[in-house]
Structure 1
Amino acid sequence: MFVHDRYRSAPEPMSGMPPGIPYIVANEAAERYSFYGMRAILVIFMTKFLMNAQGELDLMTDEQAKTWFHGFVAAVYTFPIVGAIISDAFLGKYRTIMTLSVVYCLGHLTLAVDDTRLGLAIGLGLIAIGSGGIKPCVSAHVGDQFGRTNANLLARVFGWFYFAINVGALASILFAEPLLHRFGPSVAFGVPGILMAIATLVFWSGRYKFAHIPPDREGLKRDVFGNGAEGLRALGRLFIIYVFIAMFWALFDQQGSAWVLQASRMDRRFIIDWDPSQAQWLNPALVLLFIPLFNRVIYPVFDRFWPLTPLRKISLGLLLTVPAFLLPAWLEARLDAGESVNIAWQFGAYVLMTAAEILVSITALEFSYTQAPKRMKSLVMGAFFSSVALGNVFAAGVNFFIQNPDGTSKLDGPGYYLFFAGAMAVTAVLFIPVAMRFKERTYIQDEAVVEALP
């Protein structure tokens, strides 16, 4: 029973879907529209629209834009650790999400009203704090709605959760660059801000439907350091996995940077005229198609002959990422040779990369939650997201160091893509023996009585 002055402090015993899930999924769709709608046009904005304080163009080179882009993504995925500590030790997941969502909205507002490098830095900084800080809380909040009686639904709901992410991403990518070219940066960055405000309102509306796991600072300390430092050991085991997954993110997130810049040099007439950033819509669209395909067809077929454990799925995903970057290397060689290359060729790379994403990202998201001690759910989710930060730090670092003083690149043309494909191949091979030796231990929230939060 829900009353206005009380929150449930544990999942309600039930065999069906928890009542708060629709609010979380709807919030995630709107929030992801806001994030990807902004992110999709960042490289185009920095190389085509950026201004100085005098109102003159102050454009970045391709390498500078890629460095800023991956530096921003790295910052977004660094702050989950901070958000996790605030959530698990002080405010709880719900209050942390609400507070940082306001910061998130302010970041969008800054980008909409200031198109200089200073405005870009401040806006991206606020978005990194807000978006990054809520990440582990939202995904862990999903898991907190389940107890042992309906834990079997977790995999399905994390699939829906990822489905919502990609519905929001798909819609935003289709409209972001046309808005930028037709109405300018203020509208193109303002629309995602409005969606973030809607996301915050939707989440607030579900506050009495949620199970609110209270923050427990002392319990967190016990989980981390007690019982022979069981929590630290669990975190350490998982972080070894995350180091390997980081290389996947170093390649995956270049869909928003290197692949956009490559698309700008291609023949973009395929059925319709494509803006350079719009090819990114294929990733979320394919995710929506691949989630049911993998769950209902591919995984069951594999399970008949070779059961796909979470770590086996991740291993296959890492291996599949290699050809996803070899194809752009071949396309880059053709472009450098002066050929006219249709953008449809790049679509094949999106198919390979999205299949790898299904195997790596969705699997790692659920795996991280189930392998995290009960009071460390947000903290472990934060550690998982740090793998994205680590991968983007690597990508940003590479792009920073390959810049020559004359504006050229030390890794020009196909060599750039071959470098990352080679690094991914080495990572995938080294991961296999690590995965074979990993020992799993699953933790799920227990049911308890309804309690009031202070």
Structure 2
Amino acid sequence: MTTQTAALPAEAQGKLPRQIPYIIGNEACERFSFYGMRNILVPFLISSMLLAYLPEGAQRDTAAKDVFHTFVIGVYFFPLLGGWLADRYFGKYNTILWFSLIYCAGHACLALFESHATGFYTGLFLIALGSGGIKPLVVSFCGDQFDQSNKDKAKVVFDAFYWIINFGSFFASLLAPLFLRHFGPAVAFGIPGVLMLIATIIFWLGRRNYVNVPPSGSDPHAFFEVVKTALRTQVQEQGRPGLAVAVAGLAIAVGSLLLWSLHAIGLLSWWPESFGFVITACLALGVVIALGGIGTSMQLERARGAHPDAAVDGVRAVLRILIVFALVTPFWSLFDQKASTWIIQGREMVIPHDVSWWPSFLIQDAAQMQALNPMLVMLLIPFNNLVLYPALRRLGYQPTALRRMGWGIAISGVSWIVAGALQLWIDDGTQVSLAWQTLPYALLTFGEVLVSATALEFAYSQAPQAMKGVIMAFWYLTSTFGSLWVLLTNASVRNEAVVSHIASTGLSENAFLMFFFAGFAFLAAAAFALYARTYPMQDNYRTA
């Protein structure tokens, strides 16, 4: 395994690096393993012994959703750890390999401990740690394999990379529910574990061919170094109001965790029972980021001189992007519930085996409807780029990155209006065909393509080169906070006053929450549109 890009002989220039198939093969198997276990987690929990202490129905459904979204929070939090270890100490290859082994151990726990709560939840933690740890690294490791001689091949590989992610997700979403239905949880969770082991072996087999860029180590002008300088610098007769705001955020975060700890050991009774460690820790992190960002913005100019102007301007760009990301988090609260709330709804619907056009030989479970998402992604991206966006431009409407993201959030809200309407139909006692879920899935996936794919392009263009890694870490946190909103909502419906209010509307709890999340998305889309009007666009693509 080489440690830097060596000069290539003339006859080798422009060729596809021979190590790329190892990375693509690894990604295909890893994505099947992840989505295979993720997409059967909620239906398994609802019917498992792990939640047998709860009566069947709403309580068990809510508990299953809580476990699922807690898991998602972990998956999108641990990229911070993986990226930091790779950049500072171990490099991408070693970090990916070690976290992949942790990932395999997690899958083994799920297969072996299907009826043992401690073993099963340990497995979920290990998968969250392993999957999250490698998440920010594989794509950038793939990019490290290219240099100036063959950079024209990189776009082809990245297109193949994105396609293989959806390919693995499609077949995992289609097949894993069948494995659970026909062979039981040990096999259903074991097969993704075998795929993850194969993914790790494939990655390891390419070890002698990889270009391994050494870890960068400590950077004196990194994001957090500039932030620390800005907050600590004293200006005569001006005080440090930004530092006070940032310290207040840290104090609130530490205080919240302390109160939770006192409640956990029985020394505090008034702390909300439903606010467990995960909710408390995520809220604490959110307060630190929000008030730390505000405080830094107030004093950022004080870092000039101690750091290059480019580094200071880069931090300013990151802080502006963070506001955009914060307004995107409601989208993820809707999107990730397709693997929880929508599966639960689908279990109340009727699979239309009696109609000739329904593929009864294949679609036998509501969880399989999730396969629509990756299939539609593969169709919508070329449709948008080749048909929709050019047509809008001809009509005089420029589909800028911010406009696409704002519309994506709003369209996700429309998908939940449709899901809510289906729920009303179900609540009326009507037998509703599962085929109707195709419509909200299509709308939600359209929103995803407008938000997710566009956000990566937007963040890359807005952040200077030295800050792109920080931006990716914050981008993954948007999914963490999206699932936090779901946990908070689930916690609120355990409150008697909230339950009474829902009952007074004449809606079922499920229908009410669907319309609530739709409204949440519309509110976020409106706020996003207002902020987008004043956002100062940058162009930080590197020069040729």
**Which category describes the TM-score, using the shorter chain as reference length?**
0.7 to 0.9
Are residues 396 and 57 of structure 1, via their aligned partners in 2, closer, same or farther at CA, if it must alter by over 3 Å? closer
Does residue 448 of structure 2 align to residue 357 of structure 1? yes
Does residue 318 of structure 2 align to residue 235 of structure 1? yes
User: Contact 1:144–1:213 (CA<8 Å) still a contact in 2?
Assistant: yes
Equivalent residue for 2:408, pick from 317, 336, 341: 317
Q: Structure 1 CA distance, aligned partners of 2:343 and 2:81?
A: 31
Superposed counterparts of 1:253-332, under 5 Å = 253-270=336-353, 271=358, 272=360, 274-304=364-394, 305-332=396-423
Q: Structure 2 CA distance, aligned partners of 1:87 and 1:135?
A: 12
Q: 1:414-445 CA deviation, whole Å, 9 max, x = no partner?
A: 21111000010010111123234142242559
Are residues 34 and 439 of structure 1, via their aligned partners in 2, closer, same or farther at CA, if it must alter by over 3 Å? same
Residue 110 of structure 1, CA deviation: 0.6
User: Contact 2:343–2:366 (CA<8 Å) still a contact in 1?
Assistant: yes
The CA RMSD measured in Å over matched residues stands at 3.0
User: Which residue is equivalent to 1:340?
Assistant: 431
User: Which residue is equivalent to 1:217?
Assistant: 217
- Give the secondary-structure state (helix, strand or coil) at the position aligned to 2:214: coil
Residue 279 of structure 1, CA deviation: 0.9
Aligned residues: 440
Equivalent residue for 1:431, pick from 528, 534, 542: 528
Residue 9 of structure 1, CA deviation: 4.5
User: Which residue is equivalent to 1:395?
Assistant: 486
Q: State the percentage of identical aligned residues.
A: 39
The aligned amino acid for 1:416 is L
Superposed counterparts of 1:105-120, under 5 Å = 105-115=104-114, 116-120=116-120
- Give the secondary-structure state (helix, strand or coil) at the position aligned to 1:77: helix
Are residues 109 and 257 of structure 1, via their aligned partners in 2, closer, same or farther at CA, if it must alter by over 3 Å? same
Are residues 371 and 150 of structure 1, via their aligned partners in 2, closer, same or farther at CA, if it must alter by over 3 Å? farther
Q: 1:330-375 CA deviation, whole Å, 9 max, x = no partner?
A: 0000000111110111101111111111111122234334544445
Superposed counterparts of 1:18-417, under 5 Å = 19-51=18-50, 61-115=60-114, 116-146=116-146, 157-219=157-219, 221-222=221-222, 225=226, 226-228=307-309, 229-270=312-353, 271=358, 272=360, 274-304=364-394, 305-403=396-494, 410=502, 412-417=509-514
Q: Structure 1 CA distance, aligned partners of 2:60 and 2:487?
A: 14
Residue 47 of structure 1, CA deviation: 0.7
Are residues 20 and 358 of structure 1, via their aligned partners in 2, closer, same or farther at CA, if it must alter by over 3 Å? farther
User: Contact 1:267–1:340 (CA<8 Å) still a contact in 2?
Assistant: yes
Bigger shift: 373-382 or 331-340?
A: 373-382
Q: 1:153-175 CA deviation, whole Å, 9 max, x = no partner?
A: 76665443322111111111111
User: Which residue is equivalent to 2:233?
Assistant: none
The aligned amino acid for 1:118 is T
Bigger relative contact order, structure 1 or 2 (CA pairs below 8 A, ≥6 apart): 1
- TM-score in terms of structure 2 length: 0.74
Residue 62 of structure 1, CA deviation: 0.6
**Which runs of 5 or more residues in structure 2 are unaligned?**
227-306, 503-507
Are residues 369 and 340 of structure 1, via their aligned partners in 2, closer, same or farther at CA, if it must alter by over 3 Å? same
The aligned amino acid for 1:40 is N
User: Contact 2:408–2:450 (CA<8 Å) still a contact in 1?
Assistant: yes
Bigger shift: 357-366 or 423-432?
A: 357-366
- Give the secondary-structure state (helix, strand or coil) at the position aligned to 2:137: helix
Q: Structure 1 CA distance, aligned partners of 2:102 and 2:433?
A: 41
- Give the secondary-structure state (helix, strand or coil) at the position aligned to 1:61: helix
User: Contact 2:107–2:189 (CA<8 Å) still a contact in 1?
Assistant: yes
**Which runs of 5 or more residues in structure 1 are unaligned?**
447-454
User: Which residue is equivalent to 1:449?
Assistant: none
Q: 1:123-168 CA deviation, whole Å, 9 max, x = no partner?
A: 1110111111111112333444455777677666544332211111
User: Which residue is equivalent to 1:421?
Assistant: 518
The aligned amino acid for 1:125 is F
- Give the secondary-structure state (helix, strand or coil) at the position aligned to 2:538: coil
Q: 1:162-213 CA deviation, whole Å, 9 max, x = no partner?
A: 2211111111111112211222211111111111111122223334554433
The aligned amino acid for 1:300 is P
Are residues 427 and 51 of structure 1, via their aligned partners in 2, closer, same or farther at CA, if it must alter by over 3 Å? closer
Q: Structure 1 CA distance, aligned partners of 2:6 and 2:513?
A: 50
User: Contact 1:34–1:191 (CA<8 Å) still a contact in 2?
Assistant: yes
Q: Structure 1 CA distance, aligned partners of 2:461 and 2:185?
A: 41
User: Contact 1:135–1:382 (CA<8 Å) still a contact in 2?
Assistant: no
Bigger shift: 340-349 or 410-419?
A: 410-419
Q: Structure 1 CA distance, aligned partners of 2:45 and 2:7?
A: 46
Are residues 395 and 427 of structure 1, via their aligned partners in 2, closer, same or farther at CA, if it must alter by over 3 Å? same
User: Contact 1:88–1:376 (CA<8 Å) still a contact in 2?
Assistant: no
User: Contact 1:144–1:445 (CA<8 Å) still a contact in 2?
Assistant: no
Residue 45 of structure 1, CA deviation: 1.0
Bigger shift: 306-315 or 84-93?
A: 306-315
User: Which residue is equivalent to 2:298?
Assistant: none
Are residues 129 and 372 of structure 1, via their aligned partners in 2, closer, same or farther at CA, if it must alter by over 3 Å? farther
Q: 1:216-270 CA deviation, whole Å, 9 max, x = no partner?
A: 1233744653424344333322222211121111000111000000000001125
Q: Structure 2 CA distance, aligned partners of 1:103 and 1:177?
A: 24
- TM-score in terms of structure 1 length: 0.87
Q: Structure 1 CA distance, aligned partners of 2:73 and 2:408?
A: 21
Q: Which has the larger radius of gyration?
A: 2
Q: Structure 2 CA distance, aligned partners of 1:177 and 1:101?
A: 24
Are residues 205 and 238 of structure 1, via their aligned partners in 2, closer, same or farther at CA, if it must alter by over 3 Å? farther
- Give the secondary-structure state (helix, strand or coil) at the position aligned to 1:33: helix
Q: Structure 2 CA distance, aligned partners of 1:128 and 1:357?
A: 22
The aligned amino acid for 1:114 is F
